[in-house]
Chain A
Amino acid sequence: DAKTTQPTSMDCAEGRAANLPCNHSTISGNEYVYWYRQIHSQGPQYIIHGLKNNETNEMASLIITEDRKSSTLILPHATLRDTAVYYCIVRAYQGGSEKLVFGKGTKLTVNP
Chain B
Amino acid sequence: NAGVMQNPRHLVRRRGQEARLRCSPMKGHSHVYWYRQLPEEGLKFMVYLQKENIIDESGMPKERFSAEFPKEGPSILRIQQVVRGDSAAYFCASSPLRSRLPSYEQYFGPGTRLTVT
- Residues of A at the B interface (CB closer than 8 Å) are 30, 32, 34, 38, 41-46, 49, 51, 91-93, 96-105
Asked whether B100 lies within 8 Å of A99 as measured between CB atoms, the reply is no
Q: Which one of B33, B42, B102, B109 lies within 8 Å of A32 (CB-CB)? A: B102
Asked whether B56 lies within 8 Å of A102 as measured between CB atoms, the reply is no
Asked whether A99 lies within 8 Å of B89 as measured between CB atoms, the reply is no
Question: Smallest Cβ distance from B115 to chain A, in angstroms?
Answer: 14
Nearest first, the 6 A-B pairs at minimum CB distance are A43-B108, A97-B56, A46-B105, A99-B45, A102-B43, A44-B108
Asked whether B106 lies within 8 Å of A100 as measured between CB atoms, the reply is yes
> Quick one: closest B residue to A45, CB to CB?
B108
A-B contact pairs, 30 of them (CB 8 A): A30-B101, A38-B43, A42-B110, A43-B91, A43-B93, A43-B108, A43-B109, A43-B110, A43-B111, A44-B93, A46-B107, A49-B103, A91-B102, A92-B102, A96-B56, A97-B48, A97-B56, A98-B31, A98-B33, A98-B48, A98-B95, A99-B33, A99-B56, A99-B58, A99-B59, A100-B35, A100-B43, A100-B106, A101-B45, A103-B42
**A103–B103 alpha-carbon span in the complex (Å):** 20
Categorize the interface residue count of chain B. 20 to 34
Given A41-B89, A43-B110: A96 touches B43 (CB 8 Å cut-off): no
Question: Smallest Cβ distance from B34 to chain A, in angstroms?
Answer: 10
**A38–B35 alpha-carbon span in the complex (Å):** 13
A32, A97, A101 — which one has the most chain B CB atoms within 10 A of its CB?
Answer: A97
**A16–B98 alpha-carbon span in the complex (Å):** 37
Residues of B within 8 A of A105 (CB): 42
**A98–B44 alpha-carbon span in the complex (Å):** 13
Asked whether A97 lies within 8 Å of B101 as measured between CB atoms, the reply is no
> Quick one: closest B residue to A32, CB to CB?
B102
